[in-house]
């Protein structure tokens, strides 16, 4: 995208959002893994390096500022006197700073970069007083109507509350996104008068002013009405989430990923997936997750902030901040927690849990086991029901299991403890002391009974 330092962006977000019925500011509600407001901020940042001006209400100021940090300059609109009044709050901060001023809403997350880019290009090419977006929809409810004269030029925007029946019947509508010539904006904004019916300062009245002065007004129609969806209720929030999801899933399908039922797969925009991977129904991929090529993920899996290599399989499992190396697999019903790593070709079967632990290359842990703070060597076998007792009530302790070790079913490994390479433990052992390499320990508490090479 072209960055234009002569462009300033104002994001309006001071509306009361009463229909959201929430204690949390509407624009901080999560959509596709990030706050609603993030979408407008990203659009602004894509167009210009200058931090946008964000107009907020006094009751949301503190919370929004805490989330936002230095990414935008906050301006508080104390009396909600309309969109024109909201932009007036930004005048002192912006006047003389930029040649064009783009007005965005903080609650219009489906707007696409390309659309804004086109608007911006039109504004710079024509230097019209106002370059605005319009949309044609069957349902005009709540939108300002675009009034055009006999020659097709825009002559006014009439708000629904002020519209006569003829004007109310117009289906070309005001999206609410405009690029203003800054000189025009700052000269005319103070001239706005309260509207007759609602007493609000309508930003849209600037269009009538420009037309009366025969100043050029440019407009761009969006082809996708969904792009202009403003989020006023949680019903619209859900619709936006669906739409974003469809965009994300379609992107990955076009990149070579198969979805058996994309309607039931939920991917954050931050996730990446390799070719020929198959995503099965009811799969959630979140945060900084990357999935390699030729994997099978799902059904019924939740994966957050994980790195998954090529040719892995995840079946009905939950993974958080974990790593799966090439060719490893998990499930059904496995749980990888923070710091878990399945090395190349490792297998974790039913009802296993791992935290801050590594299952070495080719190692297997088939059934009902817990590994916490453990390192398991290559090709070791963790028998059904094995537990690392890593917590003594105060502190966590490590367990080390050597290469090729064979841990018998239902072994309790009381950490800190080390099982040597090639060692075995008997079923039901409670291991409280280290077991040397190639030896066999069993019993409660486990004793080293024999060297493994004497066994056969």
Residue from 10, 14, 50, 207 binding ligand UD1 (CB under 6 A) = 14
Residue 384 Cβ, how far from ligand UD1 at the closest point, in Å?
A: 57
Grouping H, G, I as helix, E, B as strand and the rest as coil, residue 344 is coil
Question: If binding is defined by CB under 6 A, does position 103 make contact with ligand UD1?
Answer: no
Interacting residues with ligand UD1 between 380 and 439 (CB under 6 A): none
Burial degree of 339 (CB within 10 A; 0-12, 13-18, 19+) = middle
Grouping H, G, I as helix, E, B as strand and the rest as coil, residue 264 is helix
Residue 153 Cβ, how far from ligand UD1 at the closest point, in Å?
A: 18
Question: If binding is defined by CB under 6 A, does position 155 make contact with ligand UD1?
Answer: no
Print the binding letters for residues 59-98 with ligand UD1: x by CB under 6 A, - otherwise: ------------------x--xxxx-xx------------
Q: With respect to ligand UD1, which residue has the nearer C-beta, 184 or 252?
A: 184
Question: If binding is defined by CB under 6 A, does position 207 make contact with ligand UD1?
Answer: no
Of the listed pieces 61-69, 198-206, 251-259, 370-378, which binds ligand UD1 according to CB under 6 A?
A: 198-206
Query: How far is Cα 135 from Cα 281, in angstroms, rounded to an integer?
Result: 35
Measured over the CA atoms of residue 128, residue 133, residue 136 and residue 138, the dihedral's sign is negative
Residue 80 Cβ, how far from ligand UD1 at the closest point, in Å?
A: 4
Residue 82 Cβ, how far from ligand UD1 at the closest point, in Å?
A: 5
Q: With respect to ligand UD1, which residue has the nearer C-beta, 176 or 372?
A: 176
Q: With respect to ligand UD1, which residue has the nearer C-beta, 19 or 396?
A: 19
Q: With respect to ligand UD1, which residue has the nearer C-beta, 105 or 406?
A: 105
Residue from 129, 157, 192, 423 binding ligand UD1 (CB under 6 A) = 157
Of the listed pieces 137-145, 162-170, 318-326, 426-434, which binds ligand UD1 according to CB under 6 A?
A: 137-145
Question: If binding is defined by CB under 6 A, does position 13 make contact with ligand UD1?
Answer: yes
HEC per residue, 288-330: CCEECCCCEECCCEEEECCEECCCCEECCCEEECCEECCCCEE
Q: With respect to ligand UD1, which residue has the nearer C-beta, 15 or 52?
A: 15
The secondary structure of residue 368, as a DSSP letter, is S
Question: If binding is defined by CB under 6 A, does position 144 make contact with ligand UD1?
Answer: yes
Interacting residues with ligand UD1 between 225 and 284 (CB under 6 A): 230
Q: Is 367 a catalytic residue?
A: yes
Backbone angles phi, psi at 184, to 5 degrees: -60, -45
Residue from 55, 111, 123, 128 binding ligand UD1 (CB under 6 A) = 55
Question: If binding is defined by CB under 6 A, does position 188 make contact with ligand UD1?
Answer: no
Backbone angles phi, psi at 358, to 5 degrees: -120, 130
Kindly state the number of chain residues that form the binding site for ligand UD1, as judged by CB under 6 A. Answer: 27
Exposure b/e, 247-268, CB count within 10 A at least 16 = b: ebbeebeeeebebeebebbbbb
Residue 226 Cβ, how far from ligand UD1 at the closest point, in Å?
A: 13
Residue 246 Cβ, how far from ligand UD1 at the closest point, in Å?
A: 22
Query: How far is Cα 125 from Cα 337, in angstroms, rounded to an integer?
Result: 54
Question: If binding is defined by CB under 6 A, does position 135 make contact with ligand UD1?
Answer: no
Residue 207 Cβ, how far from ligand UD1 at the closest point, in Å?
A: 9
Query: How far is Cα 38 from Cα 19, in angstroms, rounded to an integer?
Result: 21
Backbone angles phi, psi at 126, to 5 degrees: -100, -25
Q: Which residue is nearest to ligand UD1 (CB)?
A: 144
Q: Where are the alpha helices (DSSP H) in 48-203?
A: 61-68, 83-94, 113-126, 165-168, 182-188
Cβ atoms 249, 266 nearer than 8 A: no
Question: If binding is defined by CB under 6 A, does position 203 make contact with ligand UD1?
Answer: yes
Of the listed pieces 114-122, 183-191, 196-204, 382-390, which binds ligand UD1 according to CB under 6 A?
A: 196-204
Query: How far is Cα 106 from Cα 232, in angstroms, rounded to an integer?
Result: 11
For residue 26, what are the contacts with CB-CB under 8 A and spacing of at least 6?
Answer: 15, 17, 20, 36, 107, 231
Q: Cα 125 to the chain's mean position, in Å?
A: 34
Question: If binding is defined by CB under 6 A, does position 328 make contact with ligand UD1?
Answer: no
Q: Which residue has the tokens 């060297």?
A: 451
Question: If binding is defined by CB under 6 A, does position 297 make contact with ligand UD1?
Answer: no
Cα-Cα-Cα-Cα torsion 314, 320, 322, 323, nearest 10 degrees, comes to 40
Among 29, 85, 367, 397, the active-site one is: 367
Instruction: List residues near ligand UD1 by CB under 6 A.
Output: 12-15, 55, 77, 80-83, 85-86, 105-107, 142-144, 157, 159, 173-174, 176, 202-204, 230
Catalytic residue ranges: 367
């Amino acid at each position: 995208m072209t960055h234009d330092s002569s462009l300033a962006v104002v994001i309006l977000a001071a509306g009361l959002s009463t229909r959201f019925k929430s204690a949390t500011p509407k624009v901080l509600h999560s959509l596709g893994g990030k706050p609603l407001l993030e979408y407008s901020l990203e659009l602004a940042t894509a167009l210009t390096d200058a931090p946008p001006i964000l107009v907020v209400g006094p009751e949301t100021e503190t919370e929004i500022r805490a989330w936002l940090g230095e990414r935008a300059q906050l301006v508080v609109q104390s009396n909600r006197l309309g969109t024109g009044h909201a932009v007036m709050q930004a005048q002192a901060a912006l006047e003389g700073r930029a040649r064009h001023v783009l007005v965005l809403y903080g609650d219009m997350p489906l707007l696409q970069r390309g659309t804004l880019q086109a608007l911006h290009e039109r504004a710079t090419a024509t230097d019209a007083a106002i370059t605005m977006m319009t949309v044609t929809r069957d349902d005009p409810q709540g939108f300002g109507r675009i009034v055009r004269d006999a020659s097709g030029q825009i002559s006014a925007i009439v708000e629904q509350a002020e519209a006569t029946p003829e004007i109310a019947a117009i289906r070309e509508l005001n999206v609410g996104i405009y690029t203003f010539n800054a000189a025009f904006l700052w000269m005319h904004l103070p001239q706005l008068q309260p509207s007759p019916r609602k007493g609000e300062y309508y930003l849209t009245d600037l269009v009538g002013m420009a037309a009366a002065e025969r100043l050029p007004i440019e407009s761009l129609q969006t082809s996708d009405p969904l792009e202009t969806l403003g989020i006023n209720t949680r019903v619209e929030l859900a619709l936006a989430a669906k739409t974003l999801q469809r965009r994300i899933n379609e992107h990955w399908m076009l990149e070579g990923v198969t979805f058996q039922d994309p309607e039931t797969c939920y991917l954050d925009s931050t996730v990446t997936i390799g070719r020929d991977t198959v995503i099965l129904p009811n799969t959630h991929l979140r945060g900084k997750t990357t999935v390699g090529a030729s994997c099978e993920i799902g059904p019924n899996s939740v994966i957050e902030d994980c790195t998954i290599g090529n040719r892995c399989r995840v079946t009905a499992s939950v993974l958080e901040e974990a790593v799966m190396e090439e060719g490893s697999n998990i499930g059904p019903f496995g749980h990888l927690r923070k710091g878990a790593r399945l090395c190349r070709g490792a297998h974790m079967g039913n009802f296993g849990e791992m935290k801050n632990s590594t299952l070495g290359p080719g190692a297997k842990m088939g059934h009902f086991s817990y590994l916490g703070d453990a390192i398991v060597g290559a090709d070791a076998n963790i028998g059904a029901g094995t537990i690392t007792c890593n917590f003594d009530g105060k502190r966590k302790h490590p367990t080390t299991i050597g290469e090729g070790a064979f841990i018998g079913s239902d072994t309790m490994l009381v950490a800190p403890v080390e099982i040597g390479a090639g060692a075995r433990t008997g079923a039901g052992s409670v291991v409280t002391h280290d077991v040397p390499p190639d030896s066999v320990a069993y019993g409660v508490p486990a004793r080293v009974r024999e060297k493994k090479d004497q066994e056969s």
